[in-house]
Amino acid sequence: MKPRQKRFVFIAVAVAALAMAVGLVLNALESNVNLYFTPTQVFNNEAPHGRSFRIGGVVQEGSVKRANDGLTVNFVITDTHKSITVVYKGILPDLFKEGKGVVAQGKMEADGMMRAEEVLAKHDENYMPPEAADALKQAQKIQAASNPAAAPVAR
Amino acid sequence: MAINWFKYSAPSTFYGLAGKLIPWFALSAAIMFAVGLYIGFVVAPMDAQQGEFYRIVFIHVASSILSMFLYLIMAGYAALGLIFNTRLSSMMATAIAPTGALFAFISLWTGALWGKPMWGAWWVWDARLTSELILLFLYLGFIALHASIDDPRRADRASALLAIVGSVNVPIIYFSVKWWNTLHQGSTIKFSGTSMHVAMQQAMFVTLVACWLYAIAVVLARVRSIILERERHTKWIAELPEVK
């Protein structure tokens, strides 16, 4: 083998070995790399006890209740399978809306509710003008009315 | 007519070619930026969810894509330099690094400006944001390592290894939103298509092309200076009209 070919093989092997090592490390770290737990994972006891963590999901439709002080908010985070009630005192991000993605950080209380220190809104990767969004909503409504079983889940 | 591609792998011939190409790339970059930003800010409608805030994608997405692609290209040149011992490849790798670092920084910076009003936070340690930050550090590490070794050929070899090793980070950035739960949304541009309104897509595409053209123009200009600096003892440089 020429020196140039030797160097090529050396680099190829080194990169392959490194990629495998990084892959294994990331695989081992998997649960720690995730930013949040889903409500189902919390019910399965996969979330840490007694310390702060994040729950991610969708704000359940009709679940947002504001207290009289104007700052405290109650809402339910759901992954359509399990849901968890969150209490938060503070200013919500603009994108916080029922039926939209949310990530809340806080501790679980003894009553099974999360007392959140921080609430972040998660938006999706779809971009469309308001008229198109309205048309999409109308179409979903018509479809839901004609075929309730196959109604799409609001995201 | 057969073109001898290897002719331009010599710094002495590439220097002239790059000089001829720079004005064209720079001019078309300026035109594409103007067109892209016009479509992005005037023609494209506002977004149903995010209102006017989403318009930062026209800079954010292009610079993120560039920061990742430029890294791969830089690592590719560095590997070529290491394997074939060609001077120009290593010079190209060195010339790409600052532009790549700039795009990685713009990506993080515009992302923070976007995150605060939309998510409610400047920064979150999620997989996408963290791996992009690591990319910026890899660029800075490459530049610093290259600058810290006095002998340019040794500096090339040492920093080439860093660039090649760091390239495993690029697929991690790209797939991070798929592999893990992140606050960052999924990819809008996928291999299967785009989930975006047509005018928004056009603006994003045109600004992306503009960023590419800008990057090429700047890298060529930088590699010309590097050639001048490193080959300053050679005869052909002494005979250049701009040096004489």
Question: For B15-29, how does the pLDDT look when each residue is reduced to its tens digit (9 = 90+)?
Answer: 999 999 999 999 999
Please tell me which residue, B83 or A133, carries the higher pLDDT value.
B83
B141, B162 Cβ separation under 8 angstroms: yes
For chain B, give the mean pLDDT: 90
E strand map for A1-81: 53-59, 65-66, 72-78
Q: Is the pLDDT of residue A153 over 80?
A: no
Residue A20, in any domain of the structure: yes
| A27 part of a folded domain | yes
Same domain, A50 and A29: no
Interface of A with B in 8-67 (CB under 8 A): 8, 11, 14-15, 18-19, 22, 26, 30, 33-38, 56
Distance CA A67, CA A71 (A): 7
Mean pLDDT on A87-111:
88
In whole angstroms, what is the distance from residue B94 CA to residue B96 CA? 6
> How far apart are alpha carbons B107 and B104 in whole angstroms?
5
* Total-model pTM: 0.86
Cβ pair B117, B155 in contact under 8 A: no
Q: Could you tell me the CATH number of the domain that includes residue A101?
A: 2.40.50.140
Report the C-alpha gap between B201 and A125 in whole angstroms. Answer: 13
Q: Give yes or no for residue B195 having a pLDDT over 70.
A: yes
Closest partner residue to A120 (CB to CB) among B83, B119, B185 is B119
Are A58 and A3 part of one and the same domain? no
Q: Is the pLDDT of residue B192 over 80?
A: no
Tell me the pLDDT band of B61, cut-offs 50, 70 and 90: very high
Residues A24 and A78 reside in one and the same domain: no
pLDDT surpasses 90 at A91: no
Pair A9, A48 in one domain = no
Question: ipTM beyond 0.90?
Answer: no
Using a CB-CB cut-off of 8 Å, the residues of chain B touching A15 are 164-165, 167-168
Same domain, A22 and A62: no
| Alpha-carbon span A42 to A53, nearest angstrom | 10
Task: Say if residue A46's pLDDT is above 70.
Answer: yes
Using the predicted structure, report yes or no on whether residue A147 has a pLDDT greater than 80. no
List A residues 85-124 in contact with B (Cβ-Cβ < 8 A).
92-96, 100, 103, 118-124
Residue B131: closest C-alpha in chain A: A33
**The domain containing residue B126 runs over which residues?**
35-44+57-238
Q: Kindly state whether residue B25 falls inside one of the protein's structural domains.
A: no
How many structural domains comprise chain A? 2
- B19 is a domain residue: no
Q: Report the relative pairing of strands A114-122 and A83-89 from DSSP bridges.
A: parallel
Which domain covers residue A113, as residue numbers? 36-141
For B117-126, how does the pLDDT look when each residue is reduced to its tens digit (9 = 90+)? 888 889 988 8
